């Protein structure tokens, strides 16, 4: 008889990815439909490269569009299904997507920088967090990675990079690497681990 430990799938080399600003173009008006969703250059190829190098990719994203009543849960999941399908068509795979539907005012434990989403992923997949990596474009992503105990965090440059770096510096939290985009981040991760 197998032990329960043997029945569990232990995933190694997990990379958590933020969505907006990392995989797709962010918008101050939020992404409310598939028509508004636009992959950033190289992001699909970057996820494929992660997978080819043995990394599992999991999305960790704040999506307050739900509780702001801008899109339904089903609408968001439709966007995510099409995103996953497009990534799969490009040769990559997104293992799972964990999202927070709450607004900042709701004070939940899952809205980044809180680590709740990463903890949920860790529990579901038995992830060894000290060997995991978080890639994001905001101070919230990097702080979330540190709070959750991720081994490495990478900041992807965005239009708001100066303010993001100022916030992180003020909190004495520094990313392990600042990348030009997701593809650059993935190249750094691959070189760091291989």
Question: Which pLDDT tens digit goes with each residue over 24-82?
Answer: 999 999 999 999 999 999 999 999 999 999 999 999 999 999 999 999 999 999 999 99
Decide if 18 is catalytic: yes
* 3 has pLDDT over 80: no
Q: What was the pLDDT predicted at 88? A: 98
What is the number of other CB atoms lying within 10 angstroms of the CB of residue 21?
21
* 89 has pLDDT over 80: yes
Q: How confident is the model at residue 90 (pLDDT cuts 50, 70, 90)?
A: very high
* 157 has pLDDT over 50: yes
* 145 has pLDDT over 50: yes
Every domain of the chain and the residues it spans: 12-193
Q: What is the DSSP string of 113-145?
A: TSSHHHHHHHHHHT--GGG-EEEESSHHHHHHH
12-193 homologous superfamily: HAD superfamily/HAD-like (3.40.50.1000)
* 160 has pLDDT over 90: no
Whole-number Å distance between alpha carbons of 188 and 126: 25
pTM value is 0.92
Q: How confident is the model at residue 194 (pLDDT cuts 50, 70, 90)?
A: low
Q: CA torsion sign, 46 to 20 to 61 to 155?
A: positive
Report, as an integer, the average pLDDT of 121-150: 97
* 5 has pLDDT over 60: no
Whole-number Å distance between alpha carbons of 9 and 93: 17
| Chain centroid, CA 180 distance in Å | 16
Q: What was the pLDDT predicted at 186? A: 97
**Identified catalytic residue from 20, 26, 137, 141:** 20
* 2 has pLDDT over 90: no
Q: What was the pLDDT predicted at 159? A: 80
Kindly compute the dihedral angle of the four CA atoms of residues 149, 103, 60, 168, in this order, to the nearest 10 degrees.
-50
Q: What was the pLDDT predicted at 11? A: 52
Whole-number Å distance between alpha carbons of 139 and 8: 33
The CA-atom distances, in angstroms, between 93 and each of 59, 87, 140, 177 are 11, 6, 25, 24
Q: What was the pLDDT predicted at 158? A: 87
Beta-carbon contacts of 28 under 8 Å, excluding residues fewer than 6 positions away, are none
Among candidate residues 71, 125, 67, the one with its CA nearest the CA of residue 98:
125
Residue 164 token pair: 């993001």
Q: What is the mean pLDDT of the chain?
A: 93
Residue 37 token pair: 């969703």
**Whether the Cβ atoms of residue 162 and residue 138 lie closer than 8 Å to each other:** no
């Amino acid at each position: 008889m197998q032990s329960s430990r043997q029945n569990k799938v232990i995933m190694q080399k997990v990379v958590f990815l933020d969505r907006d600003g990392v995989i797709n173009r962010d918008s101050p008006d939020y992404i409310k439909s598939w028509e508004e969703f636009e992959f950033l250059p190289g992001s699909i190829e970057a996820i494929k490269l992660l997978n080819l190098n043995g990394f599992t990719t999991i999305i960790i994203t704040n999506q307050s569009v739900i509780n702001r009543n801008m899109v339904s849960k089903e609408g968001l999941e439709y966007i995510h299904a099409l995103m996953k399908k497009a990534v799969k068509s490009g040769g990559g795979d997104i293992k799972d997507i964990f999202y927070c539907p709450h607004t900042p005012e709701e004070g939940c434990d899952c809205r980044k920088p809180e680590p709740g989403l990463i903890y949920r992923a860790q529990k579901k997949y038995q992830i060894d967090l000290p060997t995991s990596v978080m890639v994001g474009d905001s101070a919230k992503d990097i702080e979330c990675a540190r709070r959750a105990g991720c081994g490495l965090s990478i900041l992807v440059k965005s239009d708001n990079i100066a303010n993001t770096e100022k916030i992180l510096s003020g909190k004495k939290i520094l990313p392990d690497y600042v990348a030009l985009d997701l593809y650059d981040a993935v190249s750094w991760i691959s070189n760091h681990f291989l």
